Amino acid sequence: MWLTPEEVLLKSALKLWVPERANRYFVLQRRRGYGEDGGGLAGLLMGTLDAVLDSTSKVAPFRILHQTPDSQVYWSIACGTSREEITEHWDWLEHNVMKTLCVFDSNEDVTSFVQGKIRGLIAEEGKGSFIKEDDPEKFREAIMKFEKCFGLAEQEKLVTYYSCSYWRGRMPCQGWLYLSTNFLSFYSFLLGAEIKLVISWDEISKLEKTSNVILTESIHVCSRGEDHYFSMFMHINETFLLMEQLANYAVRRLFDKETFESDLVLHDPLQITKRGLENRAHSEQFSAFFRLPKEETLKEVHECFLWVPFCHYNTLGKMCISENYICFASQDGNLCSIIIPLREVIAVEISDPANKGVSISTKGKRAFRFTELRDFEHLVAKLKIRSGATSSPQHIASTEAATTSHSDNPVDYYEGRSMADQKGSSNAVSTEALMTVFHPQDADNLDSKMLKEKMKEQSWNILFVECGRGVSMFRTKKTRDLVLRGIPETLRGELWLLFSGAVNDMATNPGYYTELVEKSLGTCTLATDEIERDLRRSLPEHPAFQSDTGISALRRVLTAYAYRNPKIGYCQAMNILTSVLLLYAKEEEAFWLLVAVCERMLPDYFNRRIIGALVDQAVFEELIRDHLPQLTDHTTDMTFFSSVSLSWFLTLFISVLPIESAVSVVDCFFYDGIKAILQLGLAVLDYNIEKLLSCKDDAEAVTVLNRFFDSVTNKDSPLPPAVQQASNLNDKKSFHPKVDITDLIRESNEKYGDIRYEDVERMRCRNRLYVIQTLETTTKQNVLRVMSQDVKFNPSDLEELYELFKKEHFLSCYWNANSPVLRHHDPSLPYLDQYRINCQQFRVLYHLLSPWAHCANRDSLALWTFRLLDENSDCLINFKEFACALDVMCNGSFTDKLKLLFKLHIPPAFTEVESLSPSKGDELSKEELIHFSQLNVSSPVDSQEADALKRSPEKGKEKIDIQAYLKQWQDELLKKEENIKDLPRMNQFQFIQFSKTLYNLFHGDPEEELLYRAIATVTSLLLKMEEVGRRLQSPTSSAKSPVSAAESSTEGQNTQEEDGEPPQPECRKGQRSGRDDHEWSFAFEQILASLLNEPALVRFFEKPLDIKAKIENAKTSQLKARRRV
């Protein structure tokens, strides 16, 4: 490649480089130790030096220098990894530059011209380049090294690279770690020992930072049971963060495509850069901390001071600005934080130039003063533009009116505006929280509990006076303390909406919920059926859900959400959560709260595999090991805590605690997120630790926890006695001492409040890899267990075949932004159908693993085998079909192998194959292969409908067709009863192709000549027998004798075709077959009996085949095979 010209002092380089070609202005050199003089000691020393140092020559053993006469200074202008590459550059210089240099008078002009020309070439090459790095030149060199060392596909995008050490045992090997979109790669060359490591991100099950006596700080990578350690990084935290992001990106893309498809940033692998990943990490942390919509991108961060009026001091922190929000968090994160939506900003101005102060005024008649802002004048100008663009005059006027008329509850403004848009639909959507309808407070009759409730309300009102009310209120330590004591019933809906961030979603989407309700009501899907079944099971003890009012509101919210997010649709536990939301929030507010929970606060909880819940359970187990080691030592199987705590996470303790206590947990959850649930879970185990340690089995431990939850009360709850008694029926029978939920929550914060949100997110990332790989291992084990009865491969070989099959699926996804193969992986399908491959992928595996892959017509054999396996004509096959076919080829008897070959040469497998490129011979292009594999396939609509019925009755949320499952099961059972007598006869054309295939199979065998004679004898005998049989049946027939066909077949000649003729459709071959069938044909029994008479043929098909060697070769060659394709 061309290099930016750099000075080279030739005297110091003479010992390292050998000149090969030279002229007046240029010299081509070769690195000593490479090329003709071989390696030797010089090669070892040069290779080691180049590997340790960041030298371009490590991969580029050739270079071109520009020289001028009588000068000791040379300029490096090009380098190459091969002689062909550098020769191409040399020839270009001689033909395009040398002639021009003769016209210059001075050497300085020559050098200036050459440098300008080379820089122009580099700029031209970089026009369409995706390189967006701080040092493009150095990154270009790194890309060249990466491509040369690992030979991956050209589309593989290098993200960044680092110098580090890789530990093999106790010995560190210095080299370079390359992080690309799909692989973690390491290269080292030390004293002749080359280390090359390539690990795909989707194979990593553990990624963590570790330290021990030998390694102070290292990165531990576990892939397929093997541990790898990397250390001696200059910036280990930066490296680890990028590795973590790339691993999670690959996992989401390949295993969890439902959430990935909506991610526009990562959807195209070629757009991923180091800087982009770093910015993305900061944006995700920013959105999660302030509970903002996922779409928000962090644009700017400024360190500054914020004036806190009720404390009368400035607090140091960071101002974070996105497209639609201005946020501030104090240095410790808990002292003070605010969120200012730009839609609420009415003025931005410079308040104190001496202290670099900026004042931001909002519609709630509040002003926020920031000081010590760098470049504050430019910031003010930008904020004025942004806030002015997001707030139209009409919007401001209506907002100010709403603020003044609803100053007691700013959330009423959003509700009023959205309800005003509903017009005629106002009767369909409830505008009141169910608690206000079914349990209105009696102001004249205040008992002790109601007095305490009023005192709570007064505390919050005092806080609102000090800190403000609404989305831009100050959030301080006092706010947290009041939340821990329990939010008052009348304020619960408003504050849930505020703390969850749902208030922003509702404000920016007026009328959205009403439209969803109108569109979704009346629809009939699998989700709506499940919703109807669970409606009466949702808090059945509460009066609100014993009436049509509550049931109808619950139905509308759940149905609307299933319509909004069909990928989640409806999941059990959503009904319980939504019921509680409807008690305290208006219907539209409850909908947006559900959106916040399902899509932001508990990501991936409510999908088919509940991956998010499993990840948080793994985090919970990790916290138990750290904070409750007694339980860890006592419990041999930590999965007990996962199984018993699943409902805690899915329902936020609502399903296990009485309703009056559970709502206090929900209060903390909306303020602190999943951290509150983890802390409470630890407190529950800690409270019962003595009893748990004395338990003899899991059932006894479950009983202990259930009795504890039944004893939890909320002595200050103003809920009616009927509701409390219904939710705690076993109070009289329980001898467990009562535990107040407020005390339990306070204790959980005192003991485990040091758990930081950042630590939880880090543990989530780390455990997500483990959880998904565990699910994949479960899938593999189930597939292997089913398959072990159907094939003769030993378990280890079968497992390796499964990994190769799955890898081929993933390799097709790596370098295609919109790969159709991604659609073929559906975790909701049965285990055997979760991974499927098309004809092109099958050909790659066939070439690598089939014992018949050495044939000249191997592409045709692969095509016919695929068509035979693809019984439902969806152009996809699963692992069972693939493994069974390979098992016959490798382990089948003589009859089994011959029957397979016979079936490959008759319909529906057989189709006449003719390459469009005669120069390629029997090799088929990808397009031709796909075309032939789809012949005789039903129309796309019919195929899709059949596919939906047969494989995935739940796809599209349609009703399950049980009959389709039963029919498929019955068909599979009947397949095992296939009789060779049921096979159709083989016509003349098919028999000729069958004979050619046999000839190709024998090529290269030690008994090749004997086998050729044997097959010639059998072929001639079969044709003569057929001719005699025909004459006996019709002695007057004048049909042409088939002996000539036998001769052409035995000589192994190819069938004559017209040059340039396109592939013929199946109908034409069917007509030819119909025309020839009345002449002569063969049954399978005839062919089998004839071949059995030839011992050489029997020995050939019954000799044992070593699949292990094929598998080992495939593991090393699969990437190269994919690159060739």
Q: What is the pLDDT of residues 257-303, one digit of tens each?
A: 555 555 655 666 777 888 888 888 899 899 999 999 988 999 999 99
- φ/ψ of residue 827, rounded to 5: -65, -15
- For the segment 495-515, the average pLDDT, to the nearest whole number, is 94
Q: For residue 957, is pLDDT > 50?
A: no
Please say whether the beta carbons of 333 and 316 come within 8 A.
no
pLDDT at 257: 59
DSSP string, 850-898: -TTTTSTTHHHHHHHHHHHH-TT-SS-EEHHHHHHHHHHHHH--HHHHH
Section 844-852 average pLDDT: 93
Would you say 914 and 1061 are in contact if contact means Cβ atoms under 8 Å apart?
yes
* Amino acid at the residue 567: K
Q: What mean pLDDT, rounded, does the chain reach? A: 80
**Dihedral pair phi/psi, residue 915, rounded to 5°:** -70, 140
- Band of the pLDDT at 1050, cuts 50, 70, 90? very low
Structure confidence by residue, pLDDT tens digits, 699-715? 899 999 999 999 999 88
* pLDDT higher at 401 or 23: 23
Per DSSP, what are the bridge partners of residue 326? 321, 340
User: For tokens 């979704």, what's the residue?
Assistant: 520
Distances (CA, A) of 280 to 16, 231, 255, 331: 44, 25, 21, 22
Side chain identity at residue 83, one-letter code: R
**Residue 161 and residue 152: Cα distance in Å, rounded?**
16
With cut-offs at 50, 70 and 90, classify the pLDDT of residue 164: confident
Asked if residue 895 has pLDDT above 60, the reply is yes
- Convert the pLDDT of each residue in 209-220 to its tens digit: 888 766 668 899
Confidence band of 445 (pLDDT split at 50, 70, 90): low
Q: Give Cα 852 distance to the centre of its chain.
A: 36
Start-to-end Cα distance in the chain: 25
Q: How far apart are CA 235 and CA 217, in angstroms?
A: 11
Residue 242: pLDDT band with limits 50, 70, 90: very high
Contact 726, 753 (CB under 8 A): no
- Work out the percent of the chain whose per-residue pLDDT is above 70: 77
pLDDT given for residue 212 in this prediction: 72
| DSSP reduced 3-state for 232 | coil
- Pair of tokens at residue 266: 């990562």
Per-residue pLDDT band for 150 (boundaries 50, 70, 90) equals confident
**pLDDT one-digit tens code per residue, 30-59:** 877 666 554 555 555 555 555 555 444 445
The model carries a pTM of: 0.77
Mean pLDDT (whole number) for 979-984? 78
Whole-number pLDDT of residue 718: 79
Predicted confidence at residue 395, as pLDDT, reads 39
What pLDDT is attached to residue 1075?
41
Q: Are 340 and 361 in contact (CB under 8 A)?
A: no
Q: What pLDDT, on a 0 to 100 scale, did the predictor assign at position 101?
A: 83
